Structure 1
Amino acid sequence: MNGPALAIAARVRRGEISARAVAEAALARIAARGPEVNAFTAVLAERALAAADAVDARIAAGQDPGPLAGVPYAAKNLFDLAGTPTLAGSRIRRDAAPAARDAFLVRRMDAAGAICLGALNMDEFAYGFTTENSHDGPCRNPHDLTRIAGGSSGGSGVAVAAGLVPLSLGTDTNGSIRVPASLNGIFGVKPTYGRLSRHGSFPFVHSLDHVGPFARSVADLAAAYDALQGIDPEDSHQAPQPPEPVTPMLAAGLAGLRVSRLGGWFGRMQSEAARRAVAAVAEGLGATAEVEWAMAEASRSAAFIITASEGGALHLPTLRTRLEEYEPLIQDRLLAGALIPAAWVFQAQRVRARAQDAMRALMAGWDILLAPATPVPATPIGQETLTLDGVELPLRPSMGLFTQPVSGIGLPVLTVPVQRAEGTLPVGVQLIGKPWTEGLLFRAAAALEAAGICAAPVPPAFAEGAA
C-alpha cells in the first residue's frame, strides 16, 4: 500500500500538482499546526521553495525528477543542512558556524527529488528517550499532547505522525528511531550498523550510531530507505556494502520466512498493551516458537558503558568550560561517562562481542525475531518513573529496555505500529533481522500491513490536511 509520500510523488511526476504547491501547503500546515507538537526547531521555507521550483523545472524540461519528486521531508537537527548551524538539540552550538554543505543522507534525499523543509527537535546531543529538551521545549505526542514523543529522534517521529511531512530522517544509538516510532505509531527502520552513511551528522557514540528514515507506510519507508542507500567515500565507518533496494521485495509475502518471538528478557517488564502488540504480530507472521537470547541484559549493560564512556569523552573538553550550558538531564551522565575506567570499557567491548556471537548462533535457525519496541505506550511529559512487574524504574532509560540490547550488536530492526483499539495510545513491535537482511524485514512488514495488523493511525486532532 503506497503511503502519502509516494502518492505525492506520483501526482507531481504526472503534472497533476506542482512541487511548489506541495511545499507551500506543507509549510502552511507546519505554521498552523506545528507549534502544537513542537517538532520543528528550524523551518527552511526559502530553501524548500527553491528546491521545489527546481523539481518543477526538471519536469518541464522532460527530465526525470526522481522517485520522491516533490515529497516534503525534514531531518533531525543533528544532520547538517547547508547554511544552518547544526545544533544537535543543544544550547552550546547556537553560536556554531553554519554547515558548509548538507549531510550525505540529505543530499541523497534531495537527489531523489524530495524537498527538505527544516530541522527537527531532539534530545540534546541524542542522549535521551523522551525529547523533553530544556532549550527548545518538549516535543509533544500528536495522539495526546500531554505525553512524550519518545527520543532522541522525537521531532522526527512527531512530524510524520502529525502529518506535517510524510518522511523524516532520524538517528538511533540505543533506540532513538525505534522508540519514537513506537510511541507515535509510525514505521521506522534502523538499518544494519554501517549500512547508511553517517557523514555530516553530529556524532554521539561512534560504536553504536545508526541513521534511518520514518514514514507512515511500508512502501514510503522502503522508498526513502532505497533513496538513502549509497557508498559514501567520506564515511570511514560505513561498510562497503553495495545498495540493495528493498522496494522490489515488498510483494514477496511470507513464504519461507522463519520467524520467532524473543522471550526471557523480552518477555518481562512490559505493559499489557506491549504484550498484545507482540502477540498480534507473532500471529500475523505465523511465529509460534519462542527463543531466548541469554546475553540480552549483558548486552544492554555493555551498551550503557560504551555509550557513557564515548559520549563523555566526546564532550569532555566542553564540559570542562561550559558544563552549566548543557541540558540538565544529561550533565551528570556525561560527567560520569568521562570518568569510566578504561578497563570497564574494554570489558564492555568483550561482552558486546560475546553477545554478538550468541545472537549469531541463535539466529542460525531464524530470519526474524520479534520483541516489544517500548515497554509501554507514551507516558506523561515530566513523569520520572515506571512500574514494571512490580518494580519501580527510572522512566527515561527504561524506554530503551528492549531496543538497547539490539543496538549494541548492530542488527537491522524495522519497527511496526500495531492496530489498536480506538482511544488507546500506539505501541510498536521490533522486527529484528540478521546483518544485511533489511529486505526480509520489509517483506514481513508489508505482509503485516496488507493483513491490516500493522498501520499508522492518524491522530484525530491532526487528521484534516495531513501530509
Structure 2
Amino acid sequence: MSRDTASLSALAIADGVRSGALCATDIVEASLARIAARPELGAFTDVVAERARARAARIDAEVEAGVDHGPLAGVPFAVKNLFDVAGLPTRAGSRIERDAAPAAADPPLVARLEAAGAILVGALNMGEYAYDFTGENVHDGPSRNPHALDHMTGGSSGGSGAAVAGGLVPIALGSDTNGSIRVPSALCGTFGLKPTYGRLPRNGSFPFVASLDHLGPFARSVADLAEAYDAMQGHDAGDPVCVERPLEPTAPLLGGGAAGLRIAIGGGYFARGGDPAAFAAVARAAEALGARDTLSIAHVEAARAAAYVITMQEGAALHLERLRTRAADFDPAVRVRLMAGAMLPGAWAAKAQKLRRLFAAEFARVFETHDALLLPATPCRAPRIGQETMVLDGVEMLVRPNLGLFTQPISFVGLPTVVVPVFEAGERLPLGVQIVAAPWREDVCLRIAAALEAAGVASAPVGEARP
C-alpha cells in the first residue's frame, strides 16, 4: 500500500469500504503500488493485478448498490506460493513446479476469504518445497526482513512474513509443518496463527509432510488475525484430515481478554538453549498476564527428533520421483535432506509415531490444570541472510535447523498456537512468544494474544527497510 494506507488494519479497510468512506479500487491500487515499490523485500513471486482490479471494481459497484461484502470487504491479501491460484502454476518455491500446468481453481481457504470480501493480489516467496526455516530461496532469491534488509525473514513462509510486516498486504496465508508460520511471524514481527491439526482444510495446496502440515494466517493485529481465521473455518471433505466441527467464531471473544485463564510458562527444554532475550520476552508476557507457574514437559528432545524422522521420511516419499528424474533442479540443501530421508529405515518412522502419542499425552496432562503455555517462538532474533551458524547458550549450532528449536515439538502434536511479536526499546528486530493451548482452543490463544496487545507487550508495526 502507499505510505498513507500501509498501516491500516484489515478491519479498518473493511469498515471503510463497507461504509463507502474507502474505495476498494483505491485500496488495491495502493497495495499494488506498494508491492512494486518494495521489490527489495523479495516477498512476491507472482502478482495477479488484473484479477485484483476486476474484483475491486465489482465490490465497489456492489457496495454502491447496497450489497454487504462481509467482514473483510476490500482487504488485499496474498498467499504463499504453495497455494493453488487459478491461472498460475503452483510453484511451492521450486524450479520444478513452475513448469507445471496452471492451477484450474483456487483452494477452499482462498475462496472463503474472498467470500468474506477479501481480494487476492498475488503469491509469495517461500523456501523450496517448504523445507526451510530461513526464508532463503535459491531460485527466487531470499525474502528479506522489513526491519533490516540484511536479516532473514525466517521460513518457510518468508514471503508471507515480509509482505505483512512490510505493509504490502494486511493479511497473508502460509503453511506450518515444523514452524513455518511461527518462525517468520517471530522474526518479522507479525501475529501468526497455526491452528489445530485438522482445523482448516489443506486441499488446493502443495503438501510437504501430510501428517504435520497446517495452513494459517499472518496479520498485524490480533483482531485481523481472528477475523481471517474465522472466515476460513469450516469442514471440507477434500482434505481427509479436516475434522467436521461446528464453526466456533473467535473474533467476538477477544474483548474478554485473558481474565480467568490459567496460564503457565514453559520450563525445562523451553527455558534453555536460546538467547536470554528470547526468554526475557516470555517473562515480559507472563508478567503482563500475571502468569507465575512454570511447567516442564517430558520427552521434548525425543519428540523433536521424532518430528525430524517423520519430516525426512514423508518428505522424501513425496519427492522420490522428482529426485530420480530432476535431482539437479533442487536446491542442493533441500536435495541432500530429501535423499537422506529416503534412506531412513521404515521402523524409525513407526517408533516416531508411537512417541507422538506419548508426547500428546504429556501435553494433555498440562491442559488438565492450565489453559495455555507461554514459550519462546525462536531461540534468537533474525540472523543475517547467509549466516550458517550461531552461538546460543555457549554452544555453536547451525542456523537452518535450529530456528525451529521451540516450534517443532508443538507441530509434532498439532496444538493450536498464536505467535505474538515483542519489540524491545532500541532493538530493530523483534522476538516472538508462542501461546499454546489444548486442541481446538484457538479461542484461548487469541484471547491471550489480544490481552498482550492491549497491554502494549505485543505489537506489529509496519517495518521500513533498513540495511
Q: Which residue of 2 aligns with 1:87?
A: 91
Q: Which residue of 1 aligns with 2:17?
A: 12
Q: Which residue of 2 aligns with 1:27?
A: 32
Q: Which residue of 1 aligns with 2:271?
A: 267
Per the TM alignment, residue 422 of structure 1 is displaced from its structure 2 partner at its CA by: 2.9
Q: Which residue of 2 aligns with 1:111?
A: 115
Give CA deviations for 1:391-415 in whole Å, capped at 9, x if unaligned.
Answer: 1111110000000001000000000
**Aligned amino acid, residue 5 of structure 1:** A
Is 1:277 matched up with 2:281?
A: yes
Q: Which residue of 2 aligns with 1:101?
A: 105
What is the correspondence of 1:351-366 to structure 2 with a 5 Å cutoff?
A: 351-366=355-370
Q: CA contact under 8 A between 2:185 and 2:421: conserved in structure 1?
A: yes
SS where residue 302 of structure 1 aligns? helix
SS where residue 255 of structure 2 aligns? coil
CA distance in 1, matches of 2:188, 2:217: 14
Aligned with residue 143 of structure 2, among 131, 139, 142: 139
CA distance in 1, matches of 2:391, 2:461: 27
Greater Cα shift, 163-172 or 48-57? 48-57
Give CA deviations for 1:33-66 in whole Å, capped at 9, x if unaligned.
Answer: 1x11010000110111111112112212211111
Q: CA contact under 8 A between 1:3 and 1:219: conserved in structure 2?
A: no
CA distance in 1, matches of 2:258, 2:157: 31
Per the TM alignment, residue 456 of structure 1 is displaced from its structure 2 partner at its CA by: 0.8
SS where residue 435 of structure 2 aligns? strand
Q: CA contact under 8 A between 2:73 and 2:118: conserved in structure 1?
A: yes
Q: CA contact under 8 A between 1:3 and 1:220: conserved in structure 2?
A: no
Q: Which residue of 1 aligns with 2:3?
A: none
Q: CA contact under 8 A between 1:129 and 1:396: conserved in structure 2?
A: yes
Q: Which residue of 1 aligns with 2:194?
A: 190
CA distance in 2, matches of 1:156, 1:273: 25
**Aligned amino acid, residue 167 of structure 2:** G
What is the correspondence of 1:2-401 to structure 2 with a 5 Å cutoff?
A: 4-33=9-38, 35-401=39-405
Greater Cα shift, 304-313 or 413-422? 413-422
**Aligned amino acid, residue 379 of structure 2:** P
Per the TM alignment, residue 242 of structure 1 is displaced from its structure 2 partner at its CA by: 1.8
CA distance in 2, matches of 1:388, 1:131: 21
Give CA deviations for 1:402-450 in whole Å, capped at 9, x if unaligned.
Answer: 0000100000000001131133310100000000011011111111111
What is the correspondence of 1:432-443 to structure 2 with a 5 Å cutoff?
A: 432-443=436-447
Q: Which residue of 2 aligns with 1:458?
A: 462
What is the correspondence of 1:392-411 to structure 2 with a 5 Å cutoff?
A: 392-411=396-415
**Aligned amino acid, residue 212 of structure 1:** G
Give CA deviations for 1:263-287 in whole Å, capped at 9, x if unaligned.
Answer: 1110001112211111101111111
Per the TM alignment, residue 339 of structure 1 is displaced from its structure 2 partner at its CA by: 1.3
CA distance in 2, matches of 1:424, 1:113: 34
Cα RMSD (Å):
1.1
- Structure 1, unmatched stretches of 5+, are 463-467
Q: CA contact under 8 A between 2:134 and 2:153: conserved in structure 1?
A: yes
CA distance in 1, matches of 2:352, 2:43: 35
Q: Which residue of 2 aligns with 1:465?
A: none
Q: CA contact under 8 A between 2:156 and 2:181: conserved in structure 1?
A: yes
CA distance in 2, matches of 1:460, 1:189: 23
Give CA deviations for 1:101-157 in whole Å, capped at 9, x if unaligned.
Answer: 001101111111101000000000000001110000011001110010000000001
What is the correspondence of 1:404-419 to structure 2 with a 5 Å cutoff?
A: 404-419=408-423
CA distance in 1, matches of 2:198, 2:370: 22
CA distance in 2, matches of 1:419, 1:368: 22
Greater Cα shift, 308-317 or 384-393? 384-393
CA distance in 2, matches of 1:255, 1:425: 30
Give CA deviations for 1:317-358 in whole Å, capped at 9, x if unaligned.
Answer: 110011010111211100111111110000000111111111
CA distance in 2, matches of 1:124, 1:351: 28
SS where residue 256 of structure 2 aligns? coil
Give CA deviations for 1:248-306 in whole Å, capped at 9, x if unaligned.
Answer: 11011222100000111100011122111111011111111101001211111111000
SS where residue 428 of structure 1 aligns? strand
- Number of residue equivalences: 460
Per the TM alignment, residue 230 of structure 1 is displaced from its structure 2 partner at its CA by: 1.5
CA distance in 2, matches of 1:158, 1:117: 15
Per the TM alignment, residue 3 of structure 1 is displaced from its structure 2 partner at its CA by: 5.9
- Structure 2, unmatched stretches of 5+, are 1-6
Q: CA contact under 8 A between 2:152 and 2:383: conserved in structure 1?
A: yes
Per the TM alignment, residue 234 of structure 1 is displaced from its structure 2 partner at its CA by: 1.5
**Aligned amino acid, residue 360 of structure 1:** A
Q: CA contact under 8 A between 1:192 and 1:436: conserved in structure 2?
A: yes
Q: Which residue of 2 aligns with 1:430?
A: 434
CA distance in 1, matches of 2:356, 2:234: 28
SS where residue 432 of structure 1 aligns? strand
**Aligned amino acid, residue 36 of structure 2:** A
**Aligned amino acid, residue 142 of structure 1:** P
CA distance in 1, matches of 2:48, 2:30: 14
State the TM-score, normalizing by the size of structure 2: 0.97
**Aligned amino acid, residue 6 of structure 1:** L
Give CA deviations for 1:353-404 in whole Å, capped at 9, x if unaligned.
Answer: 1111111112210100010000000000011112112111111100000000
